[in-house]
Amino acid sequence: MESVTVESYAGSKAEEYPLRFYIDKRTIEIISIEKRWLTPGCRCFKVLGDNGCLYVLEYNCDNDTWSLLTVDRP
């Protein structure tokens, strides 16, 4: 699990979904959210980046942090 900086849409439920994120000073724009699910205290998102890779991002609601869980490269 890797800490990551994420810009997200913050609606009525705080950090509702990710818009873009940064890895090593590189911006990854999110093209689509392929899947989303809840785990205790967290929201998870499988997203397609503008580089063609699939990423799983996790938002921890308890400590207001994002993590990068996995990367699937084409």
pLDDT of residue 1: 64
pLDDT of residue 7: 94
Print the domain residue range for 34.
2-72
Closest CA to 49 of 34, 61, 64: 34
- What predicted TM-score, i.e. pTM, was given to this entire model? 0.88
d(CA 64, CA 74): 30
Number of domains the chain contains: 1
Q: Which residues of the chain have pLDDT under 70?
A: 1, 12-15
pLDDT of residue 3: 72
pLDDT of residue 74: 77
Q: How far is CA 13 from the centre of its chain?
A: 16
pLDDT of residue 34: 97
